[in-house]
Structure formats: C-alpha cells, structure tokens
Amino acid sequence: MTTTYRGRIAYQGAPGAYSHQACIDSCPDFEPVPFATFEDAIEAVRSGTVDLGMIPVENSTYGRVADVHQLLPESGLHVIDEAFVRVHVNLLAVPGATMADIREVRAMPVLLGQARGFIRDNNLSPIAWSDNAGAARDVAALGDITVAAMASEIAGQITGLTVLARHVEDNDLNTTRFLVMSRTPDYTRRGTGPMMTCLIFQVRNIPAALYKAMGGFATNGINMTKLESYMVGGHFTATQFYAEIEGHPDDRSVQLALEDLGYFTSHMALMGVYPASSARNSETRN
C-alpha cells in the first residue's frame, strides 16, 4: 500500500536517525527527507525544497544541541510546533558479534553523552560520528565485530545490525525536544491548552539592559521557559538572545511585556507561535 503524503519534512541524519523517528511520530502525513547537516536541512526548508523541518534543540540528559542553537536565530525560519521524542539508546553491532567482542562505539557526541555510564562500565572507546544512523550504516559496511554503533532500533533494522544491548541511556526519562520549522509563521492558531511564543532580541548597550528587559515579563506575569545568548558578529559587546515564553502575542499580558522589552532592545522579532506539547510537563515521556 502506497502512502499519500501532503508534504515533505527535512531532518538531519541518515534514515533511522532519531530525527527520522520524530518525523514519523509527530508528522506522519509528511514524507521524511534526510539531509547530511543541520545547515542543509534548514536550507531545504528555506528554499522550498521541502515544506517543514524537524530540528532537535535540546536533550533532557545532555542539554542543548549547540550547533542548532547557533543556527536558529539566523535561519529565517519560523517555529510552528514542538515535539518530544523518548530517546532509547541501543548498542548495535554486526550479526555474530557479542558484547565481549566490542571495543569501540560510534555515535554523535550528544548521544554518547547520554550513555556515559554504559560506555564506562563496559570499557568502550567512544568515537564521535556525524550522525547516529550514519554510524550504524558505517559499522554495517565495515563488518568488524569489535566496532559498534549507538542508535535507534529503526537504524538497526534498516542497516541489518543486531541489537546487543537495549535502552542503555543513563536516564530513564531521556527525551529530546524538537522544533518544527516552516518558511512562514502561523500566528492564528489557538490550541486547546497553553500557547508558546519564541522570539529573538538584542539588548541596547546600556547598564543593566538585560535585567531591565526582563522586567516586563515579570511584572506582567509571563513565564519565560528558555533564554539563550549568542555573540553577534564575533563581538563580545553585542549579544543576541533567543527566548521562549508562555502565552500568545495576542494576549494582553504578552503585548504589554513585549512593549516593555522594546524600550531596552535595539532589535526584536518573533520567531514563532505554537501550542505547548502535552509532553512538556510530563513526568513519564514513554
């Protein structure tokens, strides 16, 4: 049976990547399309080659995906949704290999960091790879029983590798958060639950500018869930911020907070509005 898609969605990595899993789970009506790098995936959305992008931004164990956070402010794209994917880390090896054979494990640094305990306990040498599913593909092609990959079970199925150890992540609630990106914003949607707004801004070069800029959110009762800083143009004196807040730009309290923000910033722009995922406050993201 042929699946009829209503669009295409870009992700970084080879087929079987966790981003691939996020596309299947969260955007089943869109055809997942792999790209080698985050830059390539973002550019595919920007150019119209695909309709959407599935971009990972942070992991509950490892923290933020640093490369992506540098790309987001200048991407020109807009956030229209978020997705949380429970990340199960599996040790994959060529058929016939045993746990006693494995000496080296390959995966992205962000995934290796989520299974430090397992790697240490089994005296494995971690080798950073460009993407996890790509590591599985390369291990399969290598055919060496001493080399394994850490990746999803989907990657193992695609590449023909055997799962030697399942769910070896250090944290039982290990979860990655993704942003769904589009060329155009959609500020009209109202979910049945809370809404999220993300924005970028650059503070003016005045004393206590950031403290003053944040004051409007506090006085108007707006909860800020994320604040990230970036250097602008390689200068230490120019800092840009990426922020996520609870609420919709049409909410009066949000409008007042953004008005206050404007007094202390030289640049401010909305990056997206989307319904808060029900998994955002879940204690059991299974």
Contact (Cβ atoms closer than 8 angstroms) between residue 87 and residue 176: yes
What's the mean per-residue pLDDT of the chain? 89
- As a three-state string, the secondary structure of 68-90 is HHHHHHHCCCEEEEEEEEECCCE
Please report how the helices 252-262 and 209-219 are oriented relative to each other, as an axis angle in degrees rounded to 10.
Answer: 160
* 200 vs 282: CA distance, rounded Å: 27
Burial of 188 (0-12, 13-18, 19+ CB in 10 A): exposed
List CB contacts of 185: < 8 A, sequence separation 6 or more: 78, 80, 270, 272, 273
The burial of 88, by beta-carbon neighbours within 10 Å (0-12 exposed, 13-18 middle, 19 or more buried), is given as: middle
Evaluate whether 161 touches 94 at the Cβ level (below 8 Å).
yes
Rounded-to-integer distance, Cα 118 and Cα 168, Å: 6
**Over the stretch 153-204, which tens digit does the pLDDT of each residue have?**
999 999 999 999 999 999 888 899 999 999 998 888 776 778 999 999 988 8
User: Average pLDDT for residues 13-33, to the nearest whole number?
Assistant: 93
Q: What is the pLDDT of residue 140?
A: 97
**Percent of the chain at pLDDT exceeding 90:** 65
Phi, psi of 104, rounded to the nearest 5 degrees: -130, 140
SS (H, E, C) 214-267: HHHHHHCCCCEEEEEEEEECCEEEEEEEEEEEECCCCCHHHHHHHHHHHCCEEE
Rounded alpha-carbon distances, angstroms, from residue 252 to 191, 215, 223, 231, 256: 17, 16, 14, 31, 6
Residues, the chain, total?
286
Taking the C-alpha atoms of residue 203 and residue 201, their distance in angstroms, rounded to an integer, is: 6
Q: Is the pLDDT of residue 215 over 50?
A: yes
First vs last C-alpha separation in the chain: 29
Confidence (pLDDT) at 286: 42
pLDDT tens per residue across span 41-55: 999 999 999 999 999
On whether the CB atoms of residues 163 and 118 are closer than 8 A, the answer is no
Residue 78 predicted with pLDDT over 60: yes
